[in-house]
Amino acid sequence: MPATQPANPAAALSSAFAEGKYALPELPYAKNALEPLYDAQTLELHHDKHHAGYVKGLNTALEKLAAARKSGDYAAIKALSRDLAFHGSGHVLHCLFWLSMTPGGSKPQADLAAKFVHCFGGFEPMAAQFAAATEAVEGSGWGVLAYEPVADCLQILQCEKHQDLTIWGVTPLLVCDVWEHAYYLKYQNRRADWIAAFMKLANWDFASQRYALIKK
Ligand code: MN
C-alpha cells in the first residue's frame, strides 16, 4: 500500500474494476495516515466492510441483469435497477471519497482555483458553501462538488439518497423523458407506446459523439 496519494488519482481508481468485475480499490494511504482527524478503526470498517459490501452487491446485480438479458425475463427489472443504482453509486462515491482526502490536505491547482473564483467568488466562499450544504444533508448522503458541463461551471450539490436510481459519476449518453408532460397529449397513459416511438427516433449518432468526447 503506497504511503502517499498517487500522482495520478485515476490510476488509483483503476483497481476499482478488474478482470471484468468491480473490485474494492486499495486505499491510497495507510489506514492510520489520516489520524487523528479520521481514525484508523473507522476507516478500516468503512473501507473493508461498508465499501466492500457495495462492491459485492453491485457485482451481484450485474450478474442478475445479465441473466435477465439472456432469458428475456425482466419481471425483476425494477428491483435490479434499484440494486444497480444503490450499490453502483455506493461503489463509485466511496472510490472518490478515499481520494477526496489526503494526509495533511492539499491545495487546488491553478485551473481549479481560477474556477472557484469564477463560479463561487473564491476558495473560501466555495468551501463555506460546501461545508454548509454537506452539513444540511437530510439523513444519510453526501456533499458533492461537481462539474456542470452545460454552463461549464462547478456546482455544490447534496446527494440525499445515493440509491435514487443513478450511479453518481456516470455521464448520460442518451435520455428519454417519461414525465407525463413529455407524452400525455398524444399518448395519454400509454407510456410504453411513447417509449416505442422514442426508440424509433433515438439519435445514436449523438450518443456516439457523446461517447467519443468522454473517451478522449
Ligand atoms: Mn460510506
Distance (Å) from CA 116 to ligand 1 centroid:
26
Task: Give the H/E segment covering residue 111.
Answer: helix 110-120
pTM of this structure = 0.86
Q: How far apart are CA 34 and CA 160, in angstroms?
A: 26
Give the pLDDT of residue 1: 38
Long-range contacts of 154-161 (CB under 8 A, 24+ apart): 154/115, 154/116, 154/119, 154/120, 154/126, 155/119, 156/126, 156/129, 156/130, 157/133, 158/133, 158/134, 159/89, 159/93
From the list 129, 127, 95, the residue with the least C-alpha distance to 112 is 127
120 and 138 together in one domain? yes
36 and 83 together in one domain? yes
Residue 175 lies in a domain: no
Least confident of 28-42, 46-60, 110-124, 175-189: 175-189
149 and 208 together in one domain? no
Distance (Å) from CA 100 to ligand 1 centroid:
13
Residue 174 lies in a domain: no
121 and 188 together in one domain? no
Task: Give the H/E segment covering residue 209.
Answer: helix 204-215
- Collapsing DSSP to helix, strand or coil, 7 comes out as coil
Q: Is the pLDDT of residue 210 over 60?
A: yes
Q: What rounded mean pLDDT belongs to the chain?
A: 88
150 and 203 together in one domain? no
Number of domains in the chain: 3
Tell me the DSSP string of 54-84: HHHHHHHHHHHHHHHHHHT--TTHHHHHHHH
What CATH number is associated with residue 114? 3.55.40.20
* Distances 1 to 30, 99, 174, 192 between C-alpha atoms, Å: 7, 14, 39, 51
Q: Which of 106, 127, 157 is the last residue of a domain?
A: 106
Distance (Å) from CA 121 to ligand 1 centroid:
30
- Name the percent of the chain lying above pLDDT 90: 51
Distance (Å) from CA 72 to ligand 1 centroid:
35
162 and 185 together in one domain? no
92 and 113 together in one domain? no
137 and 194 together in one domain? no
Least confident of 10-14, 130-134, 165-169, 194-198: 10-14
Beta-bridge mates of residue 154: 147
The whole domain housing 152 covers: 107-166
Output the nine-digit C-alpha cell for 119.
Answer: 463560479
Residue 196 lies in a domain: yes
Residue 132 lies in a domain: yes
Q: Is the pLDDT of residue 4 over 60?
A: no
Q: How far apart are CA 74 and CA 67, in angstroms?
A: 10
C-alpha dihedral (114, 117, 119, 120), degrees to nearest 10? 140
Q: Is the pLDDT of residue 26 over 70?
A: yes
141 and 189 together in one domain? no
60 and 141 together in one domain? no
At 77-127, the pLDDT tens digits run 999 999 999 999 999 989 988 988 999 999 999 999 999 999 999 999 999
What CATH number is associated with residue 89? 1.10.287.990
144 and 158 together in one domain? yes
48 and 95 together in one domain? yes
Query: When comparing pLDDT for 179 and 34, which is higher?
Result: 34
At 176-191, the pLDDT tens digits run 788 888 889 889 998 8
Distance (Å) from CA 8 to ligand 1 centroid:
23
